[in-house]
Chain A
Amino acid sequence: MSSTGKSVLLANVSRRHFMRGLAAGSAFVMAARWGLATASEGSDSAKYGAEGMPGGWVDNPNVFIRIDEDGTVTITNHRAEMGQGIRTSLALVAADELGADWEQVKVEQADADQDKYGNQNTDGSRSMRHWYEPMRRAAAGARLMLEQAAADQWGVPVDEVETRVHEVVHKNSDRSLGFGELAAAARELEVPDRDQLTLKPDSQLRYIGRETGLVNGDLTNRETRPPAVDGQDVVTGKARFGADVQMDNMLYAVVVRPPVLGARVKSVDDSAALKVRGVIKTITLEGTGMPAAFSPLGGVAVVAENTWAAIKGRDALEIEWDLEAAGDNAQYTSGEYREMLEQRAESAGKVVRESGDIEKALKGASKTVTATYYMPHMAQAPMEPPVAIVQFDGNSAEAWAPIQHPRATRQGVAGALGLDLEKVTVHQTLLGGGFGRKSKPDFVIEAARLAREFEGRPVRVQWTREDDIHHAYFHAVSVDRLEAALDSDGKATGWLHRTLSPSIGSLFAEDPKHKADFELGMGFNTMPFNIPAIRLENPEAPAHTRIGWFRAVYNLPHAWAIQSFAAEMAEAAGRDHRDYLLELLGEPRQISPSEFKDGWNYGENPEIYPIDIGRMRAVVERATREANWDNKDRGERRGLGLAMHHSFVSYTAIVMDVEVADDGEVIIHRADIAFDCGKAVNPERVRSQLEGACVMGIGIALHSEVSFSNGAADQDNFDRYLIPRMENAPREVHVHLVDGGDDAPMGGVGEPGLPPVAPALCNAIHAAIGKRVRRLPVGKQLA
């Protein structure tokens, strides 16, 4: 575990940033944020981590911590809660440093206010690694204010007092004062300078880093586990998601959107819709072509007295669409598109990383291996479909929504209503899942446009599941072609990888047709194998629909292709997959991302966050050991599969024990996941994230696909867009947290568990029945 002493937490933090990290909202930073510019372009000096994010960080105790006279400690959480448990975990960090009793801690959710709270954009698996240190400093500041208040009251020097659980004591006498008794006086004090703060040594921490709850089937520290902030509300139905916001006098809307991106409404016949009981009005909305950014898609809204009336009214609409407005998007058919990309993958494309002489290596090989892999579009499909409520009062507006990106939401609502940012209040509710879908506030802006038509009344827009699947920001289709040269010993001497995917850049600018830096940096350029000749190419791939973030993003196809191919190479070499993978990785060493032509590195400082081969080897070794890898005899039609991937500056390896029944049904007996994210602040929630990622990854491998015909998504709902059910989950899942060493910096948790799942599962299918899957989803390919 990394040191959490004062030296680390206070390093490189200049006084002028005490109240707030750098407010970095320039166009350049936005571009860098989307990966459209490299970190070194147009900037005076590179900024990393939380400081590199728009709005930076804040560690002022008065922003995040309030103590009432009754002793209640209220901690403000400014990040989106979408299941990762950040409302619990960040509050535990603050409570631990403050010395608060968890029973007396409440958590409040912040509104969207980047100037006050710092960056609130909850994506990129950043919340804990960017906010652990500011939150500890904020709590240490609050603790010092309480201690000073007690010292003042007793007339003693502050170094004679110390904080115990929810009270401050005078070490030289029996005197003590509770947090509540000190609250009023402490509140009047100046916030201490950062260099006055002393952070607790690890030995005094009660919550941070402590294993509690369910650990691979056993309940650990059951009596002392701090309850999850929203746990009780969730199991009693009281938790308030965006969908659950109730307002007096509220209107309910559903929208029929153009079937193809860029199509427009040509004519509407709403006469039948208006006859539906409860329907009030229909409104034609302006749409968008490409680049769509966060603009609503347009279409026709049905506004009603309740959701059911709106849905029935929508069913009764007759709309003629102008498909020509959509240009060639209206010809987009994903099967043909896949064939086109597969064909293009046979020819050279833009070279993005090269070392050694790949042509020579392939010519001189005693054996070559070639394979092409395909991953389809997918929809994030959070269980809570997009939903938003907006009320416009002429010169101000208020919104309630389950959003990952409060700042963009506030800007979008302000823009839609022609208001200054300060006139818009955005309340961030709980999210019924996000997975990247709710990073895009198009659905809130849509509600704002409708609210403009009904001044003074809250308007709620409910997306149905069909809307959600038809109009996702789709995970990019990807074709990856790999070719390797092996020498007579089976050792890899050459590696040629071409990756083709539409870029998320097509959302924000003219279609770049090539992957942006941050997209290549997700496991493509950062491919870690130690091979003498390597060439990585990125041929063109145009976008024909909205392409957006999906949990782990481009790491998914890159890991799927690279980790499947490594197993194919091992097979061609006649070697054990684990041994071969370790050989490909080579000796433990740290590599600068720049050596791999990666200027992004998840926004982190390459000196603190090098690409660490030792940590990769460690997770591979741990996962295979825990899975008893050397015992390959698992029975008829049953086998083990392995994959490793590093992403979001964390390291994951998975071994799956899989049986394929005669009818093609895949039964996953066990998954062993080794994970190194540096310090695990709340190991209980880290485990739950890895377990959940495992299940989601199984769905990506086995079932999930959105296909397109003539520009429109073919799937409507969960009857055809299949996501994993309980029967697909591993019968047993074991998560092994790997200690990355004292210097290991904190990594991401929400996303890095996902990329290696599909290749591990497909490698296991191969081990079980000898069938190599190269096109996802597996679907009926094994029947």
Chain B
Amino acid sequence: MINLTINGEEHELDVPDDMPLLWALRDIVKLTGTKFGCGIAQCGACTVHLDGKATRSCVTPVTKAEGKAITTIEAIADDDVGKRVQEAWLELGVAQCGYCQGGQIMTATALLKENGSPDGAEIRDAMNGNLCRCGTYNRIEAAVARAADMEDKA
């Protein structure tokens, strides 16, 4: 049995040790906001927070997530920074298809929690691992900067 703390709730999962956290979240816990995009940590669609750190859940076996606080896109609004990132995303109309955007928001939130006022180069560096096939990068960059500004004012 694997014991996971997901969005503040305890879950006991009967899954093999090597099951990636991604599939445990999606297929077992039925939290589908965390997306499958590549399975090899190349696209970032599966990004969650482990103890606040942005982590690719598709290459993280469930055993590595035991004892850590797992946060998914479904609960990121409970975090002040996450909430502001979501607001900035909506205000700037970032999303097109939206599939990758949960992962983008998780990476952006982790960045802003570490660095409250990143410059353009720092944003691009932090977000470069998250692919968006619709090509919303300009708006993502603007929205991260906007969320940072909102924090300054808050």
By a beta-carbon cutoff of 8 Å, the part of chain A in contact with chain B is: 81-85, 213-214, 217, 219, 222, 227-228, 230-241, 243-244, 246, 252, 277-278, 306-308, 311, 381-385, 430-435, 462, 464-465, 684-685, 688-689, 691-696, 717-719, 723-727, 729-733
Contacts and interface: CB of A to CB of B under 8 A. Distances in A.
Nearest to A219: B91
B142 A217 contact: yes
Nearest to A432: B99
Interface string B5-19: 000000000011001
Contacts of B141: 726, 729
Nearest to B99: A432
B32 A727 contact: no
Contacts of A384: 35, 37, 97, 99
Per DSSP, are chain B's interface residues mostly helix, strand or loop, or mixed? loop
Nearest to B43: A718
B139 A214 contact: yes
B91 to A, nearest CB: 7
A237 B103 CA distance: 9
Contacts of A435: 133
Interface in B128-153: 128-142
A246 B32 contact: yes
Contacts of B36: 243, 307, 385, 462
Given A234-B98, A731-B120, A691 B136 contact: yes
A110 to B, nearest CB: 18
Contacts of A217: 142
A732 B19 CA distance: 41
B42 A432 contact: no
Contact of A717 (B40, B72, B76, B97): B40
16 contacts: A219-B91, A238-B33, A308-B19, A383-B131, A432-B100, A465-B40, A685-B93, A688-B93, A691-B139, A695-B136, A718-B38, A718-B131, A724-B135, A726-B130, A726-B137, A727-B128
Contact of A430 (B42, B45, B74, B97): B97
Contacts of A233: 98
A732 B88 CA distance: 18
A227 B90 contact: yes
Interface in B85-118: 86, 89-93, 95-102, 105
Nearest to B89: A235
B53 interface: no
10 nearest CB pairs, A to B: A237-B33, A695-B135, A432-B99, A83-B97, A83-B96, A237-B73, A234-B98, A692-B135, A244-B32, A729-B137
A81 B95 CA distance: 12
Nearest to B100: A383
A718 B133 CA distance: 11
Contacts of A85: 96
Interface in B1-57: 15-16, 19-20, 23, 26-28, 30-40, 42-43, 45
Contact of B91 (A222, A239, A430, A727): A222
Contacts of A311: 39
Contacts of B65: none
A383 B43 contact: yes
A82 B90 CA distance: 18
A760 to B, nearest CB: 15
Given A252-B27, A307-B26, A385-B36, 13 more contacts: A81-B97, A214-B142, A234-B101, A236-B33, A237-B72, A307-B27, A308-B16, A382-B133, A384-B37, A465-B43, A685-B93, A693-B135, A719-B42
B127 interface: yes
A724 B137 CA distance: 9
A219 B143 CA distance: 12
Contacts of B98: 83, 230, 233-234, 239, 241, 430, 432
A675 to B, nearest CB: 15
A237 B140 contact: no
B45 A688 contact: no
Contacts, number: 191
Nearest to A724: B135
A93 to B, nearest CB: 18
Nearest to B23: A308
A464 B22 CA distance: 13
Contacts of B140: 726
A718 B30 CA distance: 26
A383 B93 contact: no
Contacts of A694: 135
B103 to A, nearest CB: 9
Contacts of A82: 97
A134 to B, nearest CB: 25
A736 B103 CA distance: 30
B139 A306 contact: no
Nearest to B143: A214
A214 B93 contact: yes
A381 B134 CA distance: 10
Nearest to B27: A306
Contact of B124 (A239, A430, A726): A726
B135 A717 contact: no
Contacts of A83: 95-98, 134
A737 B114 CA distance: 39
Contacts of A692: 96, 134-136
Nearest to A716: B40
Contacts of A238: 33, 74
Contacts of B95: 83, 228, 230-231, 234-235
Contact of B35 (A383, A719, A723): A383
Contacts of A243: 32, 35-36
B132 A691 contact: no
Given A214-B92, A695-B137, A235 B105 contact: yes
B90 A727 contact: no
A385 B58 CA distance: 15
> In the complex, which of the residues A235, A465, A695 has the most CB atoms of chain B within 10 Å of its own CB atom?
A235
Contacts of A240: 32
B93 A228 contact: yes
B138 A691 contact: yes
Contacts of B30: 246
B40 A307 contact: no
Q: Which of A238, A381, A383, A384 has the most CB of B within 10 A?
A: A383
A729 B89 CA distance: 18
A685 B34 CA distance: 25
A234 B143 CA distance: 15
Contacts of A689: 96
Nearest to A732: B138
Contacts of B133: 381-383, 433, 435, 696, 723
A227 B95 CA distance: 12
A311 B90 CA distance: 36
B144 to A, nearest CB: 10
B43 to A, nearest CB: 6
A430 B100 CA distance: 13
B93 A241 contact: no
Given A217-B142, A383-B35, A726-B140, A231 B99 contact: no
Contacts of B74: 236-238
A156 B92 CA distance: 46
A228 B39 CA distance: 30
Contacts of A383: 35, 37, 43, 45, 97, 99-100, 131-134
Contacts of B142: 214, 217
Contacts of A696: 133-135
A729 B101 contact: no
Nearest to B88: A235
A231 B87 CA distance: 10
Given A244-B32, A692-B96, A726-B140, A464 B39 contact: yes
